[in-house]
Structure 1
Amino acid sequence: MNIKRIVKHLLTTHGQVRRAFPESTLMMIEKAIKASETAHVGEIRFAVEDALDGVPLFKGQSARARAIEVFSQLRVWDTQHNNGLLIYVLLADRAVEIVADRGIDAKVSAQEWNKVCHQMEAAFKQANYEGGVVSGVQAVTQHLVAHFPADGRSRNELPDKPVLL
């Protein structure tokens, strides 16, 4: 049990998420996702959560494990071509996780996604949340364009609006 982490999660509030991701930032993220999805057939979702609570926190749930849960809860996997991708931020840990459905996972390595996550986390350390996420979406876009270019027939299967958990 990591007491320092538990305290950090207990002290991180939804208000801190709103300060880091105000409405204007959420609109810029949505705009970046919409622009991204015109260049490829992938589906991007963005979710941010203030902190873990209850049993998951005390059992030491990782940001990765939580991201996988959120991937399922938001039904990012529910796309015709298995081309959904979640960018998940756990603010209390300043952690970013990318979870990709099997269609994307077969083409882009976890190491590539980790690079994108680390770039975003570096921006977050400087309190540049909007820039960090927008540049993260752009980096994801480069990978998706390389492996899943737009075909002119794709439809938007998942909402582009960021989710505050």
Structure 2
Amino acid sequence: MTHMQRLFAHLFGGWFQMRRSFPASLLDEMAAAIAAGERTHQGEVCFAIESRLAPLAVLDGLDAPTRARQVFSQLRVWDTEYNSGVLFYVLMAEHRIEIVADRGIAAKVAAGEWDELCARMRECYARGQWRDGSLEGIAAAHALLVRHFPGDGRANPDELPDRPVLL
């Protein structure tokens, strides 16, 4: 995507469809799926959806991976007891999905595994299957976390909000 295409997408795209693509009922389902999955491993999952970036930020070169890292910090996903936070970041204007994993998780889960998960979500989203893509992505993240960061039988405190954050 060229610089001008990105600017155009952020000026005229994204925000119109966020509430339609992610209605309150879907956000409730996603929160329930996150909460249920977190009871099976030591990870913490956070989901953030942003309709678009400010035009000046786009002109300054802010891209989805950089913004995802900013949101990771802003939402304090890094601030979990076991360094086990995972952020799903969706930038609607550019049709981008980024996953940022804290160092405890990144040491055990290869970046390629997250990339595959993002690709599957992107395919669903491209077909307008926002519910399926989101819930399948959350389930796949939980499966990775169970495999690489299993629970130890003790209660795992809920350190991050389960309900997706709309930015």
TM over 0.5: yes
1:59 deviation in Å? 2.2
- Contact 2:85–2:101 under 8 Å retained in 1: yes
- Contact 2:15–2:92 under 8 Å retained in 1: no
Query: Across the two proteins, how many residue pairs are aligned to each other?
Result: 165
**SS of residue paired to 1:152:** coil
Structure 1 partner of 2:98: 97
How high is the sequence identity, in percent, across the aligned residues? 47
Alignment of 1:137-152 (within 5 A): 137-152=138-153
**1:33-59: per-residue Cα shift (whole Å, max 9, x none)?**
011101101000000000111332112
Alignment of 1:1-165 (within 5 A): 2-153=3-154, 154-165=156-167
The 1-side partners of 2:123 and 2:59 are apart by 27
* Higher deviation after alignment, 149-158 or 30-39: 149-158
Letter in 1 for 2:39: T
- Any stretches of 5+ residues in structure 2 without a counterpart? none
1:13 deviation in Å? 4.8
The 1-side partners of 2:150 and 2:141 are apart by 13
TM-score (norm 1): 0.96
1:120 deviation in Å? 0.5
TM-score (norm 2): 0.95
- Any stretches of 5+ residues in structure 1 without a counterpart? none
- Contact 2:14–2:92 under 8 Å retained in 1: no
The 2-side partners of 1:112 and 1:30 are apart by 23
- Contact 2:43–2:145 under 8 Å retained in 1: yes
The 1-side partners of 2:9 and 2:15 are apart by 13
The 1-side partners of 2:124 and 2:58 are apart by 25
**SS of residue paired to 2:150:** coil
The 2-side partners of 1:62 and 1:11 are apart by 17
Q: CA RMSD in A?
A: 1.1
Letter in 2 for 1:128: Q
